């Protein structure tokens, strides 16, 4: 099983600041099949980025993904109030999918 480790566990920033979230894999992810999801309290997760760097339909361009192999990054260029949530990375390059433990993005 591919183990995904996200850092940091919690990120405290202010609206308008830039957020950088990391996701490391225990082995190289096939085809860079890595996705990022946002989950707000009480709601289902929402797909933000797939294939490491492609924005899902309707996702604002302040969200961007990068990386390959074992190291991936989600960047939010200028934080909006609605961006404060929990973010998860997920790999779907091996048949047993896995999620990272999540990064909570909180208002400073």
The residues binding another protein (CB under 8 A) are: 1, 31, 33, 35, 37, 39, 44-47, 50-51, 56, 86, 88, 90, 92-93, 95-102
The token pair that represents 100 in the structure block? 């990272």
- Give dist(CA 49, CA 38) in Å, integer: 10
The minimum distance between CB 70 and another protein, in angstroms, equals 18
User: Toward another protein, which CB reaches closer, 33 or 70?
Assistant: 33
> Is 22 or 101 the residue whose CB approaches another protein more closely?
101
- The distance of closest approach from Cβ of residue 44 to another protein in the complex, given in angstroms and rounded to an integer, is 4
Q: C-beta of 105: minimal distance to another protein in Å?
A: 14
DSSP 7-66: E-SEEEE-TTS-EEEEEEESSPPGGG-EEEEEE-TTS--EEEEETTTEEPTT--TTEEEE
């Amino acid at each position: 099983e591919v183990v995904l480790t996200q850092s940091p566990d919690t990120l405290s920033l202010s609206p308008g600041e830039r957020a950088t979230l990391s996701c490391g894999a225990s082995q190289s992810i096939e085809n860079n099949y890595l996705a990022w999801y946002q989950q707000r309290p009480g709601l289902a997760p929402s797909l933000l980025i797939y294939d490491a760097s492609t924005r899902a339909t309707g996702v604002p361009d302040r969200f961007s993904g990068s990386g390959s192999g074992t190291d991936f990054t989600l960047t939010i260029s200028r934080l909006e109030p609605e961006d404060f949530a929990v973010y998860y990375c997920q790999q779907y390059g091996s048949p047993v999918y896995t999620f990272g433990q999540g990064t909570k993005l909180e208002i400073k």
